[in-house]
Chains A and B, each alone.
Chain A
Amino acid sequence: MDLNLTPSEQKFRDEFRAWLSANVPELWRGAVTSENRADHIAYLRRWQRRLFEGGWAGISWPKKYGGRGATLMEQAIFQEELALADAPHLIGTIGLSLVGPTIIALGAEEQKARYLPPILSGDEIWCQGFSEPNAGSDLASLGAKAVRDGDDFIVNGQKIWTSFAHIADYCLLLVRTDFESAKHKGITCLLADMHAQGVSVRPLRQMSGDAGFNEVFFSNVRVPVTQVLGQINNGWSTAITALMNERANLGTGIQVLFKRNLNALIARTKTIDRNGRPASADPIVRQKLAQAYLELEILRLNTNRALTSLSKSGVPGAEGSIQKIYWSEMNQRTQQIAQEILGPYGQLADFDDGQWQYGYVRSRGNTIEAGTSEIQRNIVAERVLGLPKSY
């Protein structure tokens, strides 16, 4: 047991840290509006291009495909350093962390040659067409259908909660191709062109005001059969491969943001009054801040244990689910503590740049996105504890 970084992990960190300090661009300062959205996207594409040119895009990918073959621990350090450096987020994240690894695992050689390089460079942005209005937690019941017509599939149906669809060039799309078999057995995974005729995208605005995800409609969209990833009617196992990659991301980056947020709250309590003294001297406030602190610290420790365990086993297990439940619920509790401490100021759009009101509302989605807390608890019950399936 040694929680210090090994010399090679330190070397990796120092190298990336040095690169970041020379390359992180001036932060995008303006609020994103419909007028400047294109500029913002161009800015984020340039940032990913710069990472790519520096050799820092897709670091978990094998060297053969343009990655660095980074260890899990290095990936965790990478995410952490990005956040510590206040670097812009990665616009190609779905391609880098989800689609790319799945193509590497299951794709034909021509597919790898065609799709992997532009994912790394940020020239092609991907989205993930999984959820549907009637297939959320029960993903395998999806109904978007693809019917064979010569060398093409003709796709009809609707996807929802599709992040990045409004800017995406391609979609990792799950469709039903066999209508007779059991629900898990008739699914196929397609690499679908988002610019094809018949694809339309409608942005959905979130409670927080963000417009990060979308509804996507497919109306007689032709997708060549060569665009099947994995095998026809075996798309469920392709989806599981993709989701494993998603859940193996243990959230070292987001924790830096949580820490920054908590430190800002602690600093705030020193300047606001509560019963005639600084809030930071109030025993109840102190208890709540300490609870928020210790919960975040335990998240860090759980992460380090999960990283160790994943590094040794090499197989993503239920660690991701445990992490997801913990951080999402913790963030909601901490955001509520901030609201309690700040009172009506916490709700203001122009107090501390509105970070508290935004953080509170945004955290509401944490226990729903990327697998609800309920689904994650089912996974823990079944895969960690071996309890019988409930459905």
Chain B
Amino acid sequence: MDFDLSKPQKLLKETARQFFQRNCTAARVRELMESETAFDPALWQEMADQGWTALIVPEAHGGLDAGLVELAAVAEEMGRACVPGPFLSTLFATALIRMAGDPEQQARYLAPIAAGDLKATVAILEQTANWNVDSMAMKARRDGDTYVLSGSKMFVADAATADVILCIVRAGDAIVIVPVARTVAGLTIERMPSMDETRKVHRVMFDDVKVRGADALRAGAADAVVRAIDIATVALCAEMVGGMQWILDTTVEYAKTRHQFGRPIGSFQAVQHQCADMVLLTESARSAAYYAAWALTENEPAARLAVSVAKAWCSDAFREVGNRGVQVHGGIGFTWEHDLQLYYKRAKSSETLFGDAAFHRERIASFVVDELPRSAGRVVSEPTVAAAR
């Protein structure tokens, strides 16, 4: 058993770390945060040149077809730098197209995504803000060989940047995925000002938006949505780990240099214990996120459960690490000027994205309470647990 990144994976992570240190400084994050879309075309193109928009794109479409552990390694470093922009949105869309698109649709979208020429997002949440796919209510009406969409989607990340928006809607009883060009007639995009302005969210309103029926992605759409959310969730969890690590490192550094009563505050146990708790929260998050990435890549039967374990933990842990980080910093940590605020708010938007801790705990319960548990759990000799559906 080897629960550690391989040498190439470590190298990839180190490369990403240096790249974002250089190309996405905190000052740049703040500029983007205060812009309308938080999108930096030059940065995006450089990320594409590194191959990071191509990570989970099949080789046939110019992608790297990398595993999710590689994806997690890059995402962790994006989280450490609090990178704004449509990476996660485009990744979510990429996963969805990979799973539900026919070969022609895959070729149409995935090759330009891999090259950095196309940005995409997924419009899924509605007024209920419920991540359960069964709760989607917005309808697509069939009119001849056309789908007509009316209604609105909310909390759509990067909708003002995305070239294409994949809308999850109901056609009759079935869930279909309808790609809508951002510039199509009848579509209105309105920013929803929110706490974390490094991740812009929007209300997307459809007023008889017409899309060719043949353009819809249909192959097992409902299941594809769930599986694509799992992949995006793993990337998000890794990103959250990176954010936690930044807060931990920054806080420990501060505790070593800030003096009160003639000593570094990091020599006081009250401060040390806050920091030790941050280590536990962060390392546990890392274990859970990378295990979920590995399990999904390997098609472990319990992979979906692993994703929920990771998201439930990371949702609580990132927020808690943020709380402790600000507390140890004291007044300076509560200022606009200090970069902690970026991560503190990122923790909150990440907490609810793809389902909060309570959502994922209920999903865990549906696996481990409703299905008979095994008589005893193995620690090292076999990956655990009852098979997740």
Contact = CB atoms under 8 A, between A and B. Distances in A.
Interface of A: 1-6, 9, 13, 73, 76-77, 80-81, 83-84, 252, 255-256, 259-260, 262-263, 266-267, 269, 280, 283, 286-287, 289-291, 293-294, 296-298, 300-305, 307-309, 312, 322, 325-326, 374, 376-378, 380-382, 384-390
A252 B1 CA distance: 14
A84 B376 CA distance: 7
Contacts of B268: 390
Given A3-B294, A294-B312, A381 B276 contact: yes
Contacts of A252: 379-380
A257 to B, nearest CB: 9
B385 A380 contact: no
Interface stretch (B48-56, B89-97, B281-289): B281-289
Interface in B228-242: none
Nearest to B285: A298
Can you list the 4 inter-chain pairs with the closest CB atoms, starting with the nearest? Answer: A259-B377, A381-B272, A290-B361, A301-B287
Contacts of B280: 322, 325-326, 380
B5 interface: yes
A382 B370 CA distance: 44
A312 B3 contact: no
Contact of B313 (A80, A286, A298, A381): A298
A312 B3 CA distance: 11
Interface in B312-360: 312-313, 358, 360
A76 to B, nearest CB: 5
Q: How large is the interface on B (under 10, 10 to 19, 20 to 34, 35 or more residues)?
A: 35 or more
Given A252-B380, A290-B365, A302 B287 contact: yes
B284 A76 contact: no
B379 A381 contact: no
A1 B69 contact: yes
A2 B69 CA distance: 11
Contact of B381 (A80, A302, A384, A390): A80
Counting chain A CB atoms within 10 Å of each CB, the highest count among B1, B280, B313, B368 belongs to B1
A382 B273 CA distance: 10
Contacts of A378: 269, 272, 276
A381 B273 contact: yes
Contacts of A73: 1, 380
Nearest to B300: A3
7 contacts: A1-B2, A255-B377, A289-B365, A291-B361, A302-B284, A380-B280, A387-B255
A129 B382 CA distance: 38
Contact of A308 (B2, B266, B284, B383): B2
B213 interface: no
B104 interface: no
B275 interface: yes
Interface string B33-60: 0000000000000000000000000000
Contact of B362 (A77, A269, A290, A380): A290
Contact of B377 (A9, A296, A380, A381): A296
Contacts of B283: 302, 305, 322
Counting chain B CB atoms within 10 Å of each CB, the highest count among A309, A322, A382, A390 belongs to A390
B4 A308 contact: yes
B1 A2 contact: yes
A14 B320 CA distance: 42
A3 B377 contact: no
Contacts of B256: 386-388
B266 A387 contact: yes
A190 B142 CA distance: 87
A263 B375 contact: yes
Nearest to A293: B368
B3 A286 contact: no
Given A1-B2, A256-B376, A287 B294 contact: no
A280 B371 CA distance: 11
A1 B275 contact: no
B309 interface: yes
A291 B365 CA distance: 9
A307 B1 contact: yes
A219 B271 CA distance: 43
B368 A3 contact: no
Nearest to B9: A1
Contacts of A304: 1, 3, 287, 379-380
Contact of B4 (A269, A280, A309): A309
Contacts of A374: 269, 273
Given A298-B288, A387-B267, A81 B381 contact: yes
